[in-house]
Amino acid sequence: MRRPCATAIAAISMTCLATPGAAQSLLPLPQKLVPGAGSVTIADGATVSAPAPATAAARLLVEHVRTARGLRLTVTDAAARIRFEQDAGITGAEAYRLIAARDGIRIRANTPAGFVHGAMTLVQLLSPDARTGQPVQVAAMTIDDAPRFGWRGLMIDPARHFLPMPDLRRVVDQMAAVKLNTLHLHLTDDQGWRFEVKRYPKLTETGAWRTPPSTGGPAPTTRVGGFYTQDELRALVAYAGERGITIVPEIDLPGHATALVATYPELGILGDRPPVGNRWGIEPYLFNPGPKGIAFVKEVLDELTDVFPGTYVHLGGDEALKDQWQRSPVVQAQIKALGLKDEDALQSWMIDQFGTYLQSKGRRLIGWDEILEGGLPASASVMSWRGEQGAVAAANLGHDVVLSPGTPLYLDRVQSNLPTEVPGQNVVSSLVDVYAYDPMPAGIPADRAHHVLGAQGNAWSEYMVTPAEVEFHLFPRAAAIAEITWSAKDRRDLAGFLPRVQRQAARWTNGGVTVADSAFAVDFAVTGTRGAALRANRVPLTLATQAGYGTIRYTTDGSVPTARSRAYRAPLSLTPGVTVRAAAFDAAGLPTAAVRQFDTARAALLRRGSNDLAPCGTGPFGLRVPLTPDAPEASPAFNLNLFNTCAVYPAAPLDVAGGYRVEVVRLARNWALGHDGGKLRQHYAVSPHGELLVQFGCAAATKAQDAGDKTAKPVAIGAFPLPDPASAPQRFTFEGTLPKTTGDQDICFQFTSPVSDPYYAVASVQLTERR
């Protein structure tokens, strides 16, 4: 039975499709869709023909349809069911027209990129559902489509954790599936130099490798890292180009230069040779802007531009603390000789040198928004990450800009507060948050709007060790970035987007990609305190999903919920001991995420994992870090506040619980805090390696102390000396008793370990019932 037009394509908000399923297939939304009469069926063995400019697009169509639908299409020189046709009347570098009629499907464009985008739209039309291998009836329609913005990108950071070439190619494939067209590669940083420079072979012989940080015990000696040869990168450029994607390389200067200085100390400031960095954050090492350094960068740019033919070259410019320049008589003399005001002006001068050089080679320089601070050179474009202010300022000065604000487009941030989140910045940037963002800042007037090139999401890899973790952070949020940069703002609609992103997630999964289900997964919350639930012997439980999509269905008998299981309508009231298993199901009865569960047993209600604990004081945990910083396989993740290693068990029922067992993990102290080092809260230790203090009132005392009240003191419950990290296991436990009192009270777990030792975090706290 066909649904009414408004229901079928509320997502597209234009005209009615002949088949309702097509509306849930197109992502990003096309600019214009006009329905036709009838339909065309595409079955296994259907033929495809293409002129020379469309041969790559035809091949991609065949590959993606086989993966997404299980249909085998055949490329032929004869008359075909699916035809690519060159049409000079279609203007725009990425524009295309798709015509589906009773006699077949035609994709018209005038550029290879246009053909690719048309092919990817057809892939989606040919895989509207999960019925693998079945013929597809495509409604007659005409789609005229072109992007809103020319820069629709993702940034991958192989400098912190090296990403092998096959994994990069897989990301490229899945970017093309949603018409993303720019892959920004962050190729150098303190922790690694990944681009082969033939004039300077030590950059990759030495600078591409580092030793992992210590978590205690003997210092690691096995090197980790890797690099890309120029031939490998040329092949990647060609591979991406066939998929309509341009690669923007980044060499980060003048900061984030430890790997460079470790390799060629004469290109640094002090002449010392640090090891290649194995800490995250901001290191002090800067590039030397003297004549030798300027010549070096130009030689690197010669080789870089020979490998990467795209218009833009990214030269970083972010987080360059100027202390080394300030302390160098040679650099200070250079500032004076150039008649510059200060170190920020020197960075601006340096950027201008490289921007002019790139212009002479027909290229354009782009950098992070810090390059504005000393005055923006005429040759530079800006990528704004510290909010939108940099983009607004640069665009109003007549410079091109790319929007990439940390909130919400930093994709290394976690997507939810679920315990299944992989390591990352412990600030939620959800799929819904990304979709709600518009890349056209209000502060840019209409006559300057053309300077906004587009937007991109950035996936910094400090905490993403494995390729699967990188993909988990990218997908499905890449779909939201694709739609906000391709589709017209007034046609976007979250309710319509969610079923379409669900279908695209299934295609990505079929392509071997790890896709996060955070936005659609069921989360559980006990109404009120757990102590109240235990006293009443009833557990009031609410179930919800982040996106609010689908119908939540649940079981309490241990079985896996299905589309026929009981629908969640109101908070549950359960006797302790029941395990609730739940998932949301879409209108077709398909689960939107993996089943999650919540155990209401009394012991389970008294347990708090890392994700259930709260930070002390006013600051957040900040990070979700892996147990092993460089493990080749995924390792457990734990919440950590770099400045105060303290966690709170909220509202512990002290009339119910009589004891506790706390599991502690030791984590690498591998953060370079730069000028924020003074914010570290150092607690007085009364044993060689500090203690774990178990206290009442610690969080309130911390807040009071933050406000200047030094008289506030927590109440001690227990104190446990921490073992020598050189010989102790990385995970261990302490046990203690709780004083009997009434009601609920927060329990604080504070570590007093010296800042020279590794970090500690609470992995879990299990309270035991009073006997």
CA dist., res. 296 & res. 304, Å (int): 12
For residues 658-678, give the mean pLDDT: 96
Whether residue 411 has pLDDT greater than 70: yes
AA identity, residue 440:
M
pLDDT tens figures, 238-286: 999 999 999 999 999 999 999 999 999 999 999 999 999 999 999 999 9
pLDDT at 706: 66
What does the pLDDT read at residue 448?
97
CATH architecture of 5-145: 2-Layer Sandwich (3.30)
Q: Which CATH number fits domain 151-487: 1.10.620.20, 3.20.20.80, 3.90.1010.10, 3.30.1330.40?
A: 3.20.20.80
Residue with tokens 């360059």: 320
Task: Quick: pLDDT tens for 698-754.
Answer: 767 666 666 677 777 888 999 999 999 999 999 999 999 999 888 899 999 999 999
- The pLDDT > 70 percentage for the chain reads 96
Sequence-distant (≥ 6) Cβ neighbours of residue 142 within 8 angstroms: 33, 34, 36, 97, 98, 99, 100
372: phi then psi, degrees, rounded to nearest 5: -75, -20
State the catalytic residue, choosing from 63, 129, 318, 319. Answer: 319
Distance in angstroms (rounded) separating the CA atoms of residues 172 and 63: 14
Fold that domain 522-601 belongs to in CATH: Immunoglobulin-like (2.60.40)
Check residue 143 and give its pLDDT: 97
Q: Are 523 and 416 in contact (CB under 8 A)?
A: yes
Active site residue 189: yes
pLDDT of 412 = 98
Average pLDDT, integer, range 19-27: 63
196-219 confidence digits (pLDDT tens): 999 999 999 999 999 999 999 888
Residue 656, CA distances (Å) to 738, 739, 769 in order: 10, 11, 6
Cβ distance 740 to 686 under 8 Å? no
Report phi then psi at 639, rounded to 5.
-80, 140
CA distance 198 to 571: 65
pLDDT over 70 at 10, yes or no:
no
Taking CA atoms, 305 is separated from 207, 230, 251, 453, 473, in Å, by 21, 11, 12, 21, 30
Domain boundaries, the chain: 5-145, 151-487, 522-601, 607-769
Backbone angles phi, psi at 62, to 5 degrees: -60, -45
pLDDT tens, position by position, 64-90: 999 999 999 999 998 999 999 999 999
Q: What is the pTM of this model?
A: 0.94
Q: Looking at domain 607-769, what is its CATH homologous superfamily?
A: Galactose-binding domain-like (2.60.120.260)
The pLDDT value given to residue 68:
96
Give the Cα separation of 413 and 521 in Å (integer).
Answer: 17
Whether omega before 476 lies within 30 degrees of 0, making that bond cis, reads: yes
Domain 5-145 and domain 522-601, same fold? Reply is: no
User: Which listed residue (94, 145, 157, 189) is catalytic?
Assistant: 189
What is the Cα–Cα distance from 157 to 498, expressed in whole angstroms?
28
The DSSP secondary structure of 97-145, one letter per residue, reads EEEEETTEEEEEESSHHHHHHHHHHHHHHT-SSS-TT--EEEEEEEEEE
Q: What is the DSSP letter of 219?
A: P
Tell me 206's DSSP state: T
Whether the pLDDT of residue 640 is over 50: the answer is yes
Is the pLDDT reported for residue 564 higher than 60? Answer: yes
* pLDDT higher than threshold 70 for residue 42: yes
pLDDT, one tens digit per residue, over 98-124 is: 999 999 999 999 999 999 999 999 999
pLDDT digits (tens, 9 = 90+) for 352-361: 999 999 999 9
Q: Confidence band (pLDDT; 50, 70, 90) for 635? A: confident
Confidence of residue 16 (pLDDT cuts 50, 70, 90): very low
Catalytic residue chosen out of the listed positions 256, 399, 473, 689: 256
SS3 619: coil
The mean pLDDT of the chain is 94
